[in-house]
Amino acid sequence: MAEVVLLDFWGSPFGMRARIALAEKGVKYEYKEEHLLTGKKTPLLLETNPVHKKIPVLIHNGKPISESLVIVQYIEDAWSDTAPLLPADPYGRSQARFWADFVDKKIYDQGKKIWANKAGEVQEAGKKELMESLKLLEGELGEKPFFGGETIGYVDVALVPFYTWFYSFETIGNFSIEAECPKLIEWVKRCLERESVSKSLVDPEKVYVDLILVLKKMYGYE
């Protein structure tokens, strides 16, 4: 096995977090695709993440780490001499962790209310909640180019992958995120100027056609 292996799924925002962090640090790794849409999980995944059986899993010298934010923090600690994603001062770090945790608590579930439902109460609630969360994040960004300040940091890595799912939310929910959070979309474009991000994120339209619509059919969310 290669020194660094990433078990991942192409459309997962959580997997994209690990991809960006590894790229920022210039770490060479072997990418292994888990074909989640087939419903089958590989023995390697079940062995390396027996507790949750989910991707991403980072395997470094044979030792596995799971949970995307735990993985990003591990990458930060293990390759600490390049491109720091967290500030040095404890207070700044606690703020970054707070906002990454906020992203984790809100964005995926709120987005799911939109894509996994037909037009109606639940979907409307999801739209309202998602916009509230994105506005709070936009407020936290303020006038900074990135959440991490002058360069991308932990919160940028935690949030930007969800951009690939925005097109799906907007199409299914029939609304525009850009219209209400223009500064956030400017931030996304700024992130995409970095290779670590542009090479780790997938095409939003592909996510819509090959993932979201497929999931909707698979689970009967129509």
Partner 1 sequence: KIWTTKGDEQKSATEEFIGYLKTLEAELGDKPYFGGEKLGYVDVTMIPFYSWFHAYEVSGNFSIESNCPKLMAWAKRCMQHESVSKTLPDPKKVYEFILQLKKEGAPQQRASMAEEVILLDSWVSPFGMRARIALAEKGIKHEHREEDLGNKSDLLLKMNSIHKTIPVLIHNGKPVCESNNIVQYLDEVWHDKSPLLPSDPYLKGQARFWADFVDRKVFDAGRKVWVTKGEEQKSLMEEFIGHLKTLEAELGDEPYFGGEKMGYVDVTMVPIYSWFHAYEVSGNFSFESHCPKLVAWAKRCMQHDSVSKALPDPEKVYEYVLQLRKRLGIE
Residues 136-155 that bind partner 1 (CB under 8 A): 136
CB of 26 to partner 1, least distance (A): 17
Asked if 132 is part of the footprint of partner 1 (rule: CB under 8 A), the reply reads no
Q: What angle do CA 74, 75, 77 make, to 5 degrees?
A: 65
Q: Which residue among 101, 178, 180, 203 contacts partner 1 (CB under 8 A)?
A: 101
Dihedral sign from CA coordinates of 168, 169, 174, 176: negative
Asked if 135 is part of the footprint of partner 1 (rule: CB under 8 A), the reply reads no
Asked if 48 is part of the footprint of partner 1 (rule: CB under 8 A), the reply reads no
Asked if 24 is part of the footprint of partner 1 (rule: CB under 8 A), the reply reads no
Q: What angle do CA 5, 10, 12 make, to 5 degrees?
A: 95
Q: Which residue among 32, 41, 60, 135 contacts partner 1 (CB under 8 A)?
A: 60
CB of 222 to partner 1, least distance (A): 27
Asked if 1 is part of the footprint of partner 1 (rule: CB under 8 A), the reply reads no
Nearest CA to 131 out of 177, 166, 167, 164 is that of: 177
Nearest CA to 20 out of 137, 159, 146 is that of: 159
CB of 190 to partner 1, least distance (A): 24
Distance CA 32, CA 24 (A): 19
Nearer to partner 1, 24 or 170 (CB): 24
Q: How many CB atoms lie within 10 A of CB 180?
A: 13
Q: For residue 93, how far is the Cα from the chain centroid?
A: 19
Asked if 65 is part of the footprint of partner 1 (rule: CB under 8 A), the reply reads yes
Token pair belonging to 175: 């609304």
CB of 181 to partner 1, least distance (A): 17
Give contact residues for partner 1 (rule: CB under 8 A). 51, 60, 63, 65-67, 69-71, 73-74, 77-78, 90-91, 93-94, 97-98, 101-102, 136
